[in-house]
C-alpha cells in the first residue's frame, strides 16, 4: 500500500514537473517573440540595414553626377564628392546615437526621426522636423514615380530608334507608365512595415549596383574608343559653353545635386528600428552607415569622374542618355533603374504609412476597421495579415502620389528646390544639435564652434542650391503685372535658342486695369516667327548648310494690283 502511494506521489510529482516545464518553455517562447518594448522581436542585421541604406542613397541621383562634376571641374567636383561623403558619414553616425534615450543601449526607444528630435530638442523643433521630413518623403515618392516613367519611356524610345533610325518620331506615354507603377506600388504597399522590406531592398540594391556598373562600363568603353572631349580644372567655360550667370547657377545646382545624392538621414532612425537589440543597435547602425556610405562613395566617384571624362563639358544630366549602343544594354540599365525605384519608393513611403497607422490606432483603438487583422494563408509562402485600414489608406496614398505625378510631370524640378530646403535641417542641423544636447558640449568651446561652423557651411550650400533651383525670367516683365495666378510658357529645348514660342495664363488683373471691374479671363499667344526660326535651324543642322543661298533677307510687300513691278524688284534683289 505504501509502495502504491509512493508510486502515485512520484507520478504526481513527475507530472507536476512536466507541466511546469511546458509552461516555462511557453513563457520563454513568448518572451523571445517580443522585444523589451513589447513589440514583435526585430530581426534586422548589418546586411539588411546596409541594403536599406544603399537602396535609399544610390538612386537616380547617381546619373547626374557626371553633369555636376562638369559644372564644377576636376578640383571642385572631386572635392565636393569626397567632402559630402565625409559629412554624411559623420552626421549619420551622430544620428545613430539618438535611437534610445537617455542611454544608447538600455534607454527608451525612439521609433522615428521626429520622436528623437522631440525627445532631445523639444516641441517646436519637433514640428519643424516633421514638416521637413514628410515634405521630403512624400516629394520623393512623387519624384520616383515620375523618374520611373521616364525610365520606361527611355526603354521604349531606345528600342524604337534602334528599329527605325534616329530620324524616327519615337514617343512614349509617361502617363500609362505612371499608372502601371502605381498599381504595382498599391500591391507592394501592403507589406506591413519597413522591417519586412529586406528582400525588396536587397533586390533594389543589386539593381543600383547593376546600372551603375553598366554606366561605368559604357564610359570606359567610350574613353577606350578614342573619345576625348574637352575637360578642364574649372569645368564648363564661360563664354564657350555657358554665360557667366549660367555658370554660377549651374555650380549652385551641382553642389546641391552632390549633397542631396548622399542624404538618407530622413529614414535612418526608421531603418535602425528594424535592428535586433543585440548587439546594440547604435553600434550596428554605425557599421551599416559606414558600409553604405563607403560603397556609395565608390560608385559616385566612378560614375562622376568617368562620366566626365567620357562626355567632357557637354556631359548630359543623365549620363545614360548619352549612350545609344548597344541599345539592349542601355535598355537593361534603364530597366534596372525602374526596378530599383520600385524598392526605393517603398523605403521612403513606409515611414509615412507607419505614422498614419500609429496615430489612427491611438485615435480609434477599439475600431475593428483600424486595428483588427485577418490572417490569410498564402500557399507555400506565409500567412498574410490583412488589415482593411492599411489597404485603404495606403492605396489612397499611392493613388494620390500617382495622380500628382501625372498632373505635374515637371515636379522633379520642384523637388530639387524642396530637397535643397530640407537637406540642411534633416541631414546636418538636427543631428548636430541633438549631439550637443546629448553630450553636453560646452557653449563657445572649440568643439561647439566646430560643429556650428559645419552646420552653417551646410546651410549656405542648401541656400545656394535652392537659389540655383529657381529661375527668374525677366524677359516677360508684363506678366508680373497683369497675370494673377497661373502662367505657362512653352519653350523649345533643342539647339535653337528662340525664347518662348507660346505663353498663356490668367489675365484677371488686365481686365481690371483697362475696365471698371475685375473679370476672370484667360489668354494665350503663339509666336509664328520663333517656330520658323526653329524649323530653319533644324534644316540647317540636318543639311549642314544655311536655308538661303545668300544672307539677304527681304520681304517684298504688295499693297496694290501691280504684280509686275513687284516681281521686277524681287528679281533684282
Q: What one-character-per-residue DSSP string does 502-525 give?
A: EEEEE-HHHHHHHSSS----EEEE
- Contact in structure between 121 and 128 (CB atoms under 8 Å): no
Closest listed residue to residue 112, CA positions, set 313, 359, 295, 306: 359
- Contact in structure between 46 and 287 (CB atoms under 8 Å): yes
- Find out whether the peptide bond into 519 is cis, omega within 30 degrees of 0: no
> SS3 of 243, please?
coil
Farthest CA pair distance, the chain: 147
Greater confidence (546 vs 126) lies with 126
Greater confidence (1 vs 536) lies with 536
pLDDT for 140 equals 83
Rounded to whole angstroms, how far apart are CA atoms 45 and 284?
8
**Residue 486 pLDDT grade (very low, low, confident, very high; cuts 50, 70, 90):** low
Regarding the domain delimited by 61-349+406-440+449-474, which CATH topology (the fold level of the hierarchy) does it fall under? Amino acid/polyamine transporter I (1.20.1740)
What does the block give as the cell for 111? 521609433
Rounded to whole angstroms, how far apart are CA atoms 559 and 505?
36
pLDDT for 482 equals 41
pTM to 2 decimal places? 0.70
Rounded to whole angstroms, how far apart are CA atoms 497 and 534?
8
pLDDT for 23 equals 47
512, exposed or middle or buried, with CB in 10 Å at 0-12, 13-18, 19+?
Answer: middle
- Contact in structure between 57 and 261 (CB atoms under 8 Å): yes
Pick the range with the lowest mean pLDDT from 133-147, 265-279, 338-352, 536-550: 536-550
In the chain, residues under CATH classification 1.20.1740 are: 61-349+406-440+449-474
Average pLDDT over residues 480-494: 54
pLDDT for 392 equals 93
**Chain-wide mean pLDDT for the chain?**
79
What does the block give as the cell for 548? 538661303
Residue-wise pLDDT tens digits, 399-420: 999 998 888 776 555 656 667 7
pLDDT for 523 equals 73
* Burial readout 432-463 (b: 16 or more C-beta within 10 A, e: otherwise): bbbbbebeebeeeeeeeeebbeebeebeebbe
Closest listed residue to residue 434, CA positions, set 118, 104, 87: 118
What number of CA atoms fall less than 13 Å from residue 315's CA on the CB side? 35
User: What length is written for the chain?
Assistant: 573
Residue-wise pLDDT tens digits, 431-457: 999 999 999 999 999 999 999 999 999
* pLDDT-above-90 percentage for the chain: 17
Amino acid at each position: 500500500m505504501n509502495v502504491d502511494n509512493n508510486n502515485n506521489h512520484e507520478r504526481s510529482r513527475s507530472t507536476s514537473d512536466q507541466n511546469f516545464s511546458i509552461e516555462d518553455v511557453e513563457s520563454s517562447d513568448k518572451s523571445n517573440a517580443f522585444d523589451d518594448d513589447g513589440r514583435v522581436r526585430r530581426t534586422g542585421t548589418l546586411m539588411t540595414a546596409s541594403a536599406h541604406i544603399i537602396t535609399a542613397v544610390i538612386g537616380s541621383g547617381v546619373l547626374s553626377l557626371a553633369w555636376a562634376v562638369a559644372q564644377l571641374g576636376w578640383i571642385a567636383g572631386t572635392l565636393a564628392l569626397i567632402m559630402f561623403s565625409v559629412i554624411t558619414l559623420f552626421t549619420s553616425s551622430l544620428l545613430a546615437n539618438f535611437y534610445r534615450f537617455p542611454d544608447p543601449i538600455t534607454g527608451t526607444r525612439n521609433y522615428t526621426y521626429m520622436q528623437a528630435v522631440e525627445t532631445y530638442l523639444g516641441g517646436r523643433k519637433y514640428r519643424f522636423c516633421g514638416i521637413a521630413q514628410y515634405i521630403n518623403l512624400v516629394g520623393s515618392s512623387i519624384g520616383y514615380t515620375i523618374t520611373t516613367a521616364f525610365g520606361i519611356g527611355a526603354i521604349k524610345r531606345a528600342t524604337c530608334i534602334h528599329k527605325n533610325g534616329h530620324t524616327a518620331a519615337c514617343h512614349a506615354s509617361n502617363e500609362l507608365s505612371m499608372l502601371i507603377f502605381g498599381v504595382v506600388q498599391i500591391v507592394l504597399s501592403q507589406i506591413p512595415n519597413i522591417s519586412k522590406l529586406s528582400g525588396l531592398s536587397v533586390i533594389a540594391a543589386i539593381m543600383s549596383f547593376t546600372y551603375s556598373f553598366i554606366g561605368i562600363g559604357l564610359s570606359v568603353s567610350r574613353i577606350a574608343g578614342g573619345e576625348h572631349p574637352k575637360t578642364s580644372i574649372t569645368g564648363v567655360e564661360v563664354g564657350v559653353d555657358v554665360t557667366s550667370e549660367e555658370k554660377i547657377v549651374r555650380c549652385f545646382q551641382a553642389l546641391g545635386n552632390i549633397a542631396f545624392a548622399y542624404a538618407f538621414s530622413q529614414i535612418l532612425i526608421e531603418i535602425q528600428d528594424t535592428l535586433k537589440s543585440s548587439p546594440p543597435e547604435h553600434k550596428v547602425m554605425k557599421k551599416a552607415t559606414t558600409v553604405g556610405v563607403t560603397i556609395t562613395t565608390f560608385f559616385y566617384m566612378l560614375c562622376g569622374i568617368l562620366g566626365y571624362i567620357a562626355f567632357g563639358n557637354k556631359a548630359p544630366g543623365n549620363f545614360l542618355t548619352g549612350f545609344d549602343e548597344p541599345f539592349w544594354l542601355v535598355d537593361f540599365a534603364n530597366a534596372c533603374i525602374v526596378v530599383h525605384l520600385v524598392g526605393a519608393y517603398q523605403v521612403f513611403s513606409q515611414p509615412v504609412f507607419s505614422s498614419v497607422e500609429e496615430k489612427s490606432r491611438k485615435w480609434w483603438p477599439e475600431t475593428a476597421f483600424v486595428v483588427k487583422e485577418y490572417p490569410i494563408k498564402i500557399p507555400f509562402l506565409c500567412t498574410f495579415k490583412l488589415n482593411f485600414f492599411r489597404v485603404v489608406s495606403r492605396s489612397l496614398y499611392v493613388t494620390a502620389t500617382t495622380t500628382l505625378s501625372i498632373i505635374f510631370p515637371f515636379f522633379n524640378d520642384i523637388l530639387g528646390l524642396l530637397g535643397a530646403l530640407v537637406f540642411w535641417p534633416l541631414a546636418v542641423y538636427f543631428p548636430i544639435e541633438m549631439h550637443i544636447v546629448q553630450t553636453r558640449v560646452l557653449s563657445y568651446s572649440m568643439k561647439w564652434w566646430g560643429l556650428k561652423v559645419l552646420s552653417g557651411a551646410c546651410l549656405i550650400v542648401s541656400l545656394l542650391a535652392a537659389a540655383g533651383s529657381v529661375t527668374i525670367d525677366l524677359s516677360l516683365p508684363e506678366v508680373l503685372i497683369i497675370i494673377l495666378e497661373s502662367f505657362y510658357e512653352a519653350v523649345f529645348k533643342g539647339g535653337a535658342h528662340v525664347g518662348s514660342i507660346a505663353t498663356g495664363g490668367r489675365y484677371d488683373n488686365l481686365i481690371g486695369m483697362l475696365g471698371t471691374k475685375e473679370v476672370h479671363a484667360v489668354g494665350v499667344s503663339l509666336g509664328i516667327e520663333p517656330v520658323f526660326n526653329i524649323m530653319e535651324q533644324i534644316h540647317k543642322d540636318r543639311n549642314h548648310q544655311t536655308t538661303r543661298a545668300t544672307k539677304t533677307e527681304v520681304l517684298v510687300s504688295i499693297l496694290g494690283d501691280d504684280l509686275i513691278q513687284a516681281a521686277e524688284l524681287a528679281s533684282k534683289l
